[in-house]
Structure 1
């Protein structure tokens, strides 16, 4: 069994979905690992990871609108030390995920035809978000 690890930094400009599938695919190809399991972990509590459709941009807009309605900024939250988007961002992260697992075969992620990897930025301000990628396999 072999393993490799990499840190990706994604610079965001506020609430949006940022696809990073090509960056992960390029790194994965360089590891030489053909079969295994890829784990991705977001090191933040106000951003999250998603696997979702990467063909129709309307899907991304609809997802962002749904997350906004599920955890609105005008909610009654006790925690607001970093502003009105702070607690809703934590809730949106909880509703999505901080980590993902993706099987690898033939040196490639076994994503479906229309699937892509996304960082979901849940805050209004720009951030530098870190994602840790870990592959274990042969």
Structure 2
């Protein structure tokens, strides 16, 4: 089964999407299988990360922003602003697709794991995630 999830972002940062994905799994899967997520964009990404302490998310965001700074004079791809090329690099360094096992109709995430959309652009965006369930 394939579904599409649309997420409206309000700017740069990690957005928890575990609830939306869990609901899709609950509505469509009763046994074991695999949930594959694919984001259809080149300036956002997906990841599984700690969901307990928000400081971990803030530290990840700050670290990536230091690693790939905006305004680097070496960037030539700046058509959509200072965050354009850094957003593409950040998406390249992270992941556009992830797979999560499904056990007994539930995502097999660890206790402190959550699923996140990582928006790498400053402005509001409409992001599409394709969700594929296989058993």
Length-normalised TM-score, structure 2: 0.97
Misfit runs of 4+, over 2 Å: none
CA RMSD of aligned residues (A): 0.8
Tell me the distance in 2 between the aligned counterparts of 1:61 and 1:32.
Answer: 33
Residue 32 of structure 1 deviates from its aligned partner by: 3.2
Secondary structure of 1:100's aligned partner: strand
Gapped regions of structure 1 (runs ≥ 5): none
Residue 9 (structure 2) aligns with? 12
Alignment of 1:24-63 (within 5 A): 24-63=21-60
Structure 1 partner of 2:119: 121
Is 2:110 aligned against 1:100? no
**Structure 2: unaligned runs, 5 residues or longer:** none
Kindly indicate whether residue 71 of structure 2 is the aligned counterpart of residue 74 of structure 1: yes
Distance 2:56 2:97 in 1: 21
Q: Secondary structure at the match of 1:65?
A: helix
Determine the C-alpha separation between the residues in 1 that align with 2:99 and 2:24.
16
- CA-CA distance at 1:56 after TM superposition: 0.3
CA deviation map 1:4-33 (0-9, x unaligned): 111111111110111010111111111134
Distance 2:58 2:113 in 1: 16
Paired residue for 2:20?
A: 23
Query: Secondary structure at the residue paired with 2:133?
Result: strand
* SS at structure 2 position matched to 1:135: strand
Q: Secondary structure at the match of 1:58?
A: helix
For this pair of structures, how many residues does the alignment match? Answer: 134
Report the 3-state secondary structure (helix = DSSP H, G, I; strand = E; otherwise coil) of the residue aligned with 1:118: strand
